[in-house]
Structures are given as structure tokens and as C-alpha cells.
Chain A
Amino acid sequence: MKSWDAIVIGGGHNGLVNACYLQRAGLDVLVVEKNGWVGGAATSRELTPGFLYSNCSYVCSLFRPEIMRDLELPRFGLQVISYEGGAVFTRDGDYLANYRDHDAHRREFARFSRRDAEAYDRYSRDVTRQCRFIQPLLMRTAPDPTSFWPRDLGELLYLGRKFAGLTPEEMALTLRFWTMSISDFLDEYFETDVIKANFALSGIIGTALGPMSPGTAYVLLHHYMGEVDGSVGAWGYARGGMGAVTKALAASFQASGGTIRTGAEVDHVLIQRGRAKGVMLADGEEIYGKLVVSNADVKRTFLKLVEEKELPDVFLRRVRNFKIRGSSGKVNIALDSLPEFPALPKDSPVYRGDMHFTDSMERMERAYDDWKAGRWSADPFLDMVIPTTLDPTMAPPGKHFMSCFVQYAPPKVNGRDWTDADRDGFAESVISQIAEYSPGFRDRIVHMEVRTPREIEAEVGLTEGNIFQGELTFDQLLFNRPVPGYAQYRSPVTGLYMCGSSTHPGGGVMGAPGRNAAAEILRDLAKPTKHMSPAHDVI
């Protein structure tokens, strides 16, 4: 019976990144994926003829360039098209745009507040300082503070030195930044509600917290650490949809000799005497491997794929208590023509960027209130993009694909499971919001896919549909992600590793968890890691 060197459960971007690095180290790697396609939450699906849907993740920025380079993703077809702007529409028929040009950005803000327009530089300086502190940590395994291994001590020392290198003021700001609410943080710079709402959205995306909840400032930082081809902070569309990222990863993996099996759902991990031996598929087939890596989130991995008796009590309790709350949904729409927004000039670059309708902090917080009460938001927060304004490969000529990320959507509605009627009501809250700013919008809809946490969990496998595989709050970061003592991609089961976004440094289509996990696995196998680029310097 064949025994693979490694079996990766789940063909999401982190599973594929991990598999690529292991395969390139000379291991014989198998990826098993339950769906009939790979991609996890980074997919492009033709759900109606002629239209490709980025039906989960929808924009690209965080993916680490070091990984793109190591795995030759440009050669395997990955192109990222950056966009130039975005906007929040205001209820008085205007909008507040974000432009890449510094002075255009300032003049745009000055339309609403001259003071806040000039406050942007200081805001930008402080956020940049924080990003520079965090960024080098993304591509390093977090130290285990309870360990006395030289490497852990070294990493702790690195962290300590970085922190000690800050001035007292910076230290104070860093601690505040990691723990405070995005609303409080923005109050230190801006006075105008719509300008604060404009920035606050990065603090709540994917998070079951409102803009006034502590911890949301860090989430904003997480969204600022990306780049597109060296342009720091830029966001873009993967040509061909987000599936292009995982398509390139799969092609890179297969080109180096790796094997992918789709339509192969894992029922559980085979464990013998505390050691992972392989996986059993839902149809009863057993596949053997010397080690198993799970791309699934920590809850799915240890509460569904591993028998409880194999795990220590404390670990199990912490996994159960890991916060991975469903907070968002998606409405993906095929349009027979480009929607019009009367507020926007026809030649505005905003059409090609991210659009929002939540123009005040209070509306944002109210939307969260609905979530707390177990309802989807009556007046939801949308992050809406039309990638086909820059990428003609996703829809027939003249037609468009629109992606709406929708917040908030609770994992259960009033304590019960989502029904189809709930799903339709959720979709209506989105469509009616868009239609309010875009007359005739409903008539342009050709096809629509609505994904509540129920659909996302069922298809993608993300527990409660949480896009980050766990909240990015400070209690669940660094050496506490996913749970204390297991932040280095290993688990209580020998030979069973984690490589998904539940692990450090967290969610988004970044690839760093998959890469860092591969480095730890290769270390355990005493294999060289010369094919892995170190993190870029931040000077």
C-alpha cells in the first residue's frame, strides 16, 4: 500500500502553498480536496454561462511576494491588476472617494473637511509605523514563550528587541493599537463621520466585532500590510478571479510532481498510538501518509476530523473556545450591463475600485447590533467591487460580475439554522441597499449567488463561514494563535500539522501560514529549506 510522504487536507491557498513547498523539498505530497475543484476560499467558478465568480475572497493584496517568487506563480499565470480608488457613497447623493494620488486624496477629503484632509499624513505615518513593526513577524514562526529551546528564546529575543527598539511613545501606541477599537483610534485623527467610516471598514471586515469594539484597530492594520507587485498597501484583482491564485498554485504544485485528488472528502484523520498515519475518506477509502497537514480551520480539524479521545482536555477546551464566529456573507451577481451610480461622474475611477454605502460610524455599529441580536443587518455594510471593469476575462463583453461582501450575517438566525427564506431576506437587504444608490439596478441582474454563513461553511468548510478561520483579536494572535502552546503549526497528535489561517499570522489570501507550516515540517524532517526565500527586509 502506497504511503505518501505528506497528505494535505484541503486545497485552499494555504494548503496548496504548503504542499508546493513540501513537494519542492523532495517529498511526495498528496492534496485531498472535498470539492470537485481546488481553491477553498480563493476560487473562480462559472456559476452561470460566461461569468466567472470570485465567490468567496474577491481582492488580492496580502499574498506574500516571497511566496509568489518561490513558487513561480507569475510563470504559472498569476497576474494581479491593481485598482486606483474606491468610495463611500453618502446619503445626500454625494460620495467620499479614496484616490492613490496623495494630493487628489487630500483634495477629495477637503470636500468634506479641510482639517481632516490635512490630518491624513499623521494618520498615515502612525499606521505605517505599526505596519513596519508587524510585517516582519508575518513570515516567522511565533515563539513559544513557555519554551526554553534556543530557537524560541531567540525568536522571543527578536520580538523583545523589536519592541525595545521602539520609543516609549511608539510602545504606548503599539499597545494601544493592538487593543483599542478602530473608532477610538480614528477619533485621535479625524472629526468627520464619513471620513472615519471610510477608514473604519478595514477594521471590521471579516470580524464579528463592531467599529466600537476593542481590538478592531489591529484588524485594520492586517488589511494594510499588503502590496501589489511592490506597490505597498495597494489592492488588486487577480486576472480571471481569485481562483487564478489557487490555479497557479495547483499548476506549480503539479509541475513539481505533486498530486491532487478532488472530490475526496476526508472523514477523519487516521491515528495510531498518538501518531497520524493518514486519512479516511468519506467513502471509506484509507490513504496512508507519514504525516498529515490540515488546511481546515482549527475547529474543523480537531472537533470533526480527529477523534476527541486523541486530544488532551485543555487543548480541546481551548479549541472549542477559539473565536471563529460567523459574521459575514456574500452576494455575487452577474449583471447584463455596468450599473450606474448617479452620484459618481461617469469617468470616475471609483467604478473600478471598492464601493461602500455605510457613511457613518453609527450605521456601522447599528449593523453590528443586529448581529448581536442574532439577525442579519437590516442596513448592512457592503464591500462591493466590479472586477470586470479591469478584467474582461470574467464576463462576456459589456457584461459584468459584481462581488458584494456583506456584513453582518450571524451564524444562526435567532438561534436557529438559516432557512432559504432567511437567505432570500438577507439578499434583499443587500440588493435594496445598492438599488437605493443605483436606479435600475435590479433590472440588470442576470444571475445571483447568495452565500450566508450556512452556504460558506457547507461548501468551503470554513466554520461558521468565518473568512479568517478565527478572529484576528490580540488574544488570538502570535503565540496564542490558534491556542497557546500550539502556535508553531504542530498539534498534540504527532505528525499532524496545521497550515490554515487559524494559525499565525492569520487570514486573508496571504499564504504565510502555509509557508511557515512547511518550514516547521521540514525542520522536523531535518530537510533543507533553501528553496524558501526569507522574508523581505523592512528597513
Chain B
Amino acid sequence: MNQLPTLDASAARAAAQSHFRTLRLGTPFQPRIDALARTNDWYNWAGYRAPHSLWDEELEYFAIRSQAALFDISPMTKYRIAGPDAEAFLNRVTLRDVTKLKSGRVHYTAWCDDDGFVLDDGTLFRLSPTRFRLCSQERHLPWLLDSATGFDVTVEEETEAVAGLALQGPTSFAVLRDAGFAGVERLRVFDLAEFPHDHGTITISRTGFTGDLGYELFVPADKALSLWDRLILAGELRGIRAIGYTALNRARLEAGLIVANADFTTSQHAIRADRLRMPDEIGLGFMVDLQKGHFNGRRAIQGARAKRRLRHVLVGLEIEGNIPAEHAIVYYRKSQEVGLVSAAMWSPMAKRNIAIASLARPFGDTVVDDLWVEIYAMRELQYQKLMKRAKVVQRPFIKLDRRTANPPADF
């Protein structure tokens, strides 16, 4: 039995055993969030205990639009990608041209498998010429490592090491300025910069998932609580509020942004082959840069475009009335089933009934008239069935000048 050598036991590995006792981890901000959680309304975000709401999901939404909302994004998957070939590597993996992404800038991008189906979307932060941070919903370490063969680059997962906060809303700039982050007024949309904090540095970018004026802050996990306290203190008179996902999800829908595995199924999770989607089928075709040279999925995407084999299209819908059409079936001429609504709400900002839907082409693409949604509204144990007209509209559903204004307004 002992003909094989004993492996080296790792103390760190043994110390990590106890995770089975806590199935949902807390983030580095958890002590502060727990203290504010009046509703105790939690959900599982990638193995973390995250709040659906903290005290009132309606008011939490209005904190985003009228004040400053603090949302813990620590569970978001984060990869640190560095090395002389980091740019070339990311150019090969992702759809957009990374050579055009300057240091100190962020772009929204996506990446595909070899068949051109979308693995995920996310944000790519260029921290320096050779250092990047890739943030996403799902996990991709094997894909990134396998794709790195032949590149002088390191890929490390840093989800637990780096905590993140989104500070979103009209007063968010004023909160950061009052908190003493000197120079934050110089950040334009999609800019990022490092700022001193608690004997260290943090990264602040003018980005977000709300379509509003807002920032995202990345901080080493051990400095997370001091950052939270610094913001809350500075924001006291600016109406700063911690919020949960329900409020954020409303804001992102108004902004017309999609969520992986809510508005489309990522290719590594799609069990049914017809659920796979190419970038053009989920509204991300604009990212595909065929001029930049080879990238994962390029040939397949090019082929599908040439052969017109793109079967779906993701659209924004404006639906008559005010009853949200969540997961409603979309019909052509009230009879032919042509798609499904993946997210819907009555928008307090747009004062419209809005939705994101996936339709089978040509519907939503060249045929956009005579589209209807069938809403099953459960009211006191009865479905009120409504057939409402839907109009294909541009996303975002709302456009706020304050999001892009320079310098940012001092509310």
C-alpha cells in the first residue's frame, strides 16, 4: 500500500476545511450590512449571503435615483491578469480591441467559446499597461488559464482578496469628495484611478450598473470596513443608504443593461444546445471587432453572420399599460409565439412599462410591428390575463445627463 510516496500536506489547505460549516460566506462588509439588515431578506450570490433588500426595496431604489446608494459588489468574480502579454492575451480572449483600452480606463466587454457562444459579459479594468482586472458574473479560471497558453501572462482569481462597493446616485460624487478623495472630480465616465485610503490605496472608477452618476470602489479586504465607515460618515448629509439587489436590478433594467443567466444563458451552463447565444443575439454585436485579428470565437461569429444563422435578437420593449410583463411570452399578431420577456418593470424614471426580451428573428429584427405580450397577472389567486401591445425601443430606457456630466454635478 505504501509503494507511492506521501504527498505534501499543506497547512493552508487543511485550515480551509471548515468552510462546510458556512455555506453562504459573508463579504468583508458583512458586519456593517448585517447591522443594517432590517428585512433579513437574503439570497445566494455566488456562495455569498447577499441582501435582496435591507429595509425597504422601494426606498432603496429611490436612494439610487435621488441620493447615494451603497451596494456591496464583493461577490462579483474578479481576476487579476498581469504580464508583458496581458494585453495580447485579453485581446485574444475578449471581443473588443484591448489595444484601444488605455491605462486608467474601463470597458464593458464579453467573451465567447470557440463556437462563438457567449461565455459571459463583464468589465475589464486596465490598471497599468501590463495589469488588468476582469470582473464577471460567472467563473472562468480554466478558460482563462487554458487560453493563456503561449502568452507571458499570469491569471489569478482575487474575488476574496478584493472587496468592492458600488456608490451610485446623484450625490455619489459629492460623497466621495467630502470623504476626502481628492481629484475624484477629474474622473470621467469609464476612467479609473488609485486613491490613498487607510495607509494603502484603493481603486475608484466612474462606472456602475445603474445608468446614473456613480462609482465603483475596489479595496483590499482588510481595509473594507474602514472604507465603508468613511463613506457613510461623509454621506450622512447626502442621504447615503445601503441597498440590496432588488433596487439595483430595477436601476439596471432602466439602464437597459443585461445580466448573465437572467437575460441569456451562458454557454458553460446551457444544457440545452438551443439556448446558446452569440453576441449578436443578445445585443452585444457592437463589441465584436473583426479588424483586430484573431480572438476566441471569431471564425464562428463571422461564419454565422455570413450565413445569416443568427437566430435570436435581444430587444428593449415598451409595453402599454403599467403591469410588469415579467417572463411573459411575446406574440406576433397575438397568436404566433416569437419570444420571451426576461426582465420587466414599470419604470418610475421613464414612467413607462419596460422590458428586455429575446425574440426569434426576423421578429424584433426586421419585423417589429404587431408584437404583443401576454401578461398573466396573479391577483388574489386568479390570473388576470392581458394581451398588451409591445413596441421595440432603443435601450437604455432612460438617459441621465448627470451620468456623463463633467465635472460631475454637486448635488
A345 CB-CB contact with B under 8 Å: yes
**Chain B residues near A189 (CB-CB < 8 A):** 142
Check B20–A104 contact: CB distance below 8 A.
Answer: yes
A433 CB-CB contact with B under 8 Å: yes
Check B23–A115 contact: CB distance below 8 A.
Answer: no
Check A167–B139 contact: CB distance below 8 A.
Answer: no
**Chain B residues near A104 (CB-CB < 8 A):** 19-20, 23, 47
A72 CB-CB contact with B under 8 Å: no
Check A90–B142 contact: CB distance below 8 A.
Answer: no
In the complex, A108→B20 CA distance in Å?
A: 8
Q: Which of A366-404 contact B (CB under 8 A)?
A: 378-379
**Chain A residues near B1 (CB-CB < 8 A):** 378-379, 432-433, 436
In the complex, A101→B47 CA distance in Å?
A: 9
In the complex, A356→B273 CA distance in Å?
A: 35
Check A360–B4 contact: CB distance below 8 A.
Answer: yes
Check B269–A111 contact: CB distance below 8 A.
Answer: no
Q: A121-B268, A379-B1 are in contact. Are A115 and B141 (CB under 8 A)?
A: yes
Chain B binder among A10-18, A48-56, A125-133: A125-133
A106 CB-CB contact with B under 8 Å: yes
Q: Which of B1-60 contact A (CB under 8 A)?
A: 1, 3-4, 6-10, 13-14, 16-21, 23-24, 44, 46-47
Chain B binder among A60-68, A91-99, A495-503: A91-99
Check B47–A106 contact: CB distance below 8 A.
Answer: yes
In the complex, A115→B145 CA distance in Å?
A: 8
A348 CB-CB contact with B under 8 Å: yes
Q: Which of A345-362 contact B (CB under 8 A)?
A: 345, 347-349, 360, 362
Would you give the shortest CB distance from B12 to chain A, in whole angstroms?
9
Can you name the residue of chain B whose Cβ is closest to the Cβ of A348? B20
B185 CB-CB contact with A under 8 Å: no
Check A94–B268 contact: CB distance below 8 A.
Answer: no
Q: Which of B242-261 contact A (CB under 8 A)?
A: none
Would you give the shortest CB distance from B44 to chain A, in whole angstroms?
7
Check B271–A92 contact: CB distance below 8 A.
Answer: no
Which of B7, B10, B14, B140: most chain A CB closer than 10 A? Answer: B7
Check A122–B142 contact: CB distance below 8 A.
Answer: yes
B337 CB-CB contact with A under 8 Å: no
Total interface residues on B, CB under 8 Å, equals 34
Q: A121-B268, A125-B271 are in contact. Are A363 and B4 (CB under 8 A)?
A: yes
**Chain B residues near A379 (CB-CB < 8 A):** 1, 3
Check A169–B115 contact: CB distance below 8 A.
Answer: yes
In the complex, A78→B121 CA distance in Å?
A: 48
Can you name the residue of chain B whose Cβ is closest to the Cβ of A90? B7
A170 CB-CB contact with B under 8 Å: yes
In the complex, A436→B1 CA distance in Å?
A: 10
In the complex, A112→B9 CA distance in Å?
A: 11
Check A170–B273 contact: CB distance below 8 A.
Answer: yes
In the complex, A215→B387 CA distance in Å?
A: 54
Check B16–A111 contact: CB distance below 8 A.
Answer: yes
1/0 per residue B362-397: CB within 8 Å of A? 000000000000000000000000000000000000
A166 CB-CB contact with B under 8 Å: yes
A536 CB-CB contact with B under 8 Å: no
Would you give the shortest CB distance from A260 to chain B, in whole angstroms?
43
Check A103–B23 contact: CB distance below 8 A.
Answer: yes
**Chain B residues near A531 (CB-CB < 8 A):** none
1/0 per residue B256-291: CB within 8 Å of A? 000000000000111101000000000000000000
Can you name the residue of chain B whose Cβ is closest to the Cβ of A101? B23
Check A122–B8 contact: CB distance below 8 A.
Answer: no
**Chain B residues near A99 (CB-CB < 8 A):** 20
A119 CB-CB contact with B under 8 Å: yes
A114 CB-CB contact with B under 8 Å: yes
A–B Cβ pairs within 8 angstroms, 20 of them: A85-B20, A92-B7, A93-B9, A104-B19, A104-B20, A106-B139, A110-B16, A111-B16, A114-B141, A115-B142, A115-B145, A116-B142, A118-B141, A118-B157, A121-B138, A121-B139, A347-B21, A360-B4, A432-B1, A433-B1
